[in-house]
Structures are given as structure tokens and as C-alpha cells.
Structure 1
């Protein structure tokens, strides 16, 4: 039994290494109108992350954001607000900002949009977007 458990643990470690599941978790805040109003008033940079739990591109973007945050603490200064694509409460914001699809990332300072990426998973493109806010 002990050998079986040890083999299982080794297999899991290999699988994590192969699939990239070892990325750091992205530090984010769930979107609400109140939270958005607060970050808008602060004047600090923030990223709106339009995601859906079933979206593979969204999951990849999340992994990239987590990687960037783990590699450089300055990216932790950018508040990431997750906007659930499927939540009816998100629809007014999606319409107002003309968000074309889930897996859209939009960088803001205050109420000023600084840039956006749509369905991009490139680490350099996401890093460049974050840099716009810093």
C-alpha cells in the first residue's frame, strides 16, 4: 500500500509538471458594482477580467496572470476584478464597455481605459497590458 501511494504521488508530480498546473493562483477580486466604484475612485490601476468558468482561454489567461504575479510583485499592485460572463449582473458592464466575448482583459486607471486584449494568452501581450497601468 505504501509503495502504491508513493507511486501515485510521483505520478501526480509528473502530471503537474507536464500540464503546467503548478502555476501560482491569480490574486483577484470578484466583481460587484460597489467594488468597481471603489477602484475607479482610487485612481489605482485595475484590470477587468471577463471570464467564464467553462472557458479554456480564460483558464489559460488566469494561469498567465498568476505566473506574472508570482514572477514580479509589482503586478500585485494591479487589482484584478473578475467579471463573470454568465452572471446577469455583469451584463450592463459588458454592454457598456462593448466587450465582444469572454476572455477579454481590459486595463483601467480610474475611469480611463488604457488598453485591452481579446482572447490572447500570450504572456508578453498580457504583461504589456499590465504594464500600461504601472
Structure 2
């Protein structure tokens, strides 16, 4: 290999890596298209369910945590709100295609109906629940 071709090799490797990332991100999330979640709270729910996937070390998760807890108390008669620690439930998070935290997924009749990543407002959470 000539030293003048090293730049081409590096450029090719970077392009291949970017292509792999693009293909990986284009792959449908594993929970989409499924009829039911693997979460018992979702499977057996007769009301809408909002699941927050979070971690204790995550700054945005810590900031939105009290809002999620408050929402859970406010809508307890009309919906379920569940917080799921991805460090303790990594397989469950992976089965739902969680790639960033916090991620909120709302389920109705066991089906995923909405998904948002990042710290969201209480109004957005209510919207995801259809309330």
C-alpha cells in the first residue's frame, strides 16, 4: 500500500462505518409491529400505559423523574405510568428497542402507539396517553 493511498483507505473506512450506522438506525425497532409488550403492566392493562425508560445516572432522567411521579399520581384512575430502570432491566429495554434515555413509550390495548425520546413535558406525556 502506498502512503498516498492511506487517505483513501481512511475515507473508505469512515464511509463504511457511517453506512453501517445509517442501516442500523433504519432498522425498525423491535417492539413496533408487535401486538403486545413484554411488560406485565402493559399486557394486563385496561387503561393506557406510559412507560419511561430511564437510568439513575442520566441527568435528563433525573430532571423529568419528579414530573413522571406526579403524573402517575394524578392519572392513577385513568392510566398507568411506569418507570423502568434500563440498568436493572437491560434485556427488557433492548426488547423495546431503547437506544437513548429517557425514552417514553405509550401503549393502548397492549400496542405501542407513541414514542418520544428525551425529557418531555407533562402536557406531552398526557397527550401520549390520550388524556
- TM-score where L is the length of structure 2: 0.58
Does the 8 Å contact 1:64/1:121 carry over to 2? Answer: no
Residue of structure 1 equivalent to 2:97: 98
Residue of structure 2 equivalent to 1:129: 128
Structure with bigger helix share is 1
Question: C-alpha root-mean-square deviation of aligned residues, in Å?
Answer: 2.4
Unaligned runs of 5+ in 1: 1-34
Does the 8 Å contact 1:120/1:126 carry over to 2? Answer: no
Does the 8 Å contact 1:40/1:109 carry over to 2? Answer: no
Give every structure 1 segment of 4 or more consecutive aligned residues whose post-TM-superposition deviation is greater than 6 Å.
none
Unaligned runs of 5+ in 2: 1-37
Does the 8 Å contact 1:106/1:117 carry over to 2? Answer: yes
- Mark the structure with the bigger radius of gyration: 2
Does the 8 Å contact 1:117/1:126 carry over to 2? Answer: no
Figure out how many residues of one structure are paired with residues of the other and give that number.
93
| Alpha-carbon distance in structure 1 between the residues aligned to 2:42 and 2:120 | 25
Does the 8 Å contact 2:55/2:87 carry over to 1? Answer: yes
Q: How does 1:107-126 map to 2 (within 5 A)?
A: 107-126=106-125
- TM-score where L is the length of structure 1: 0.57
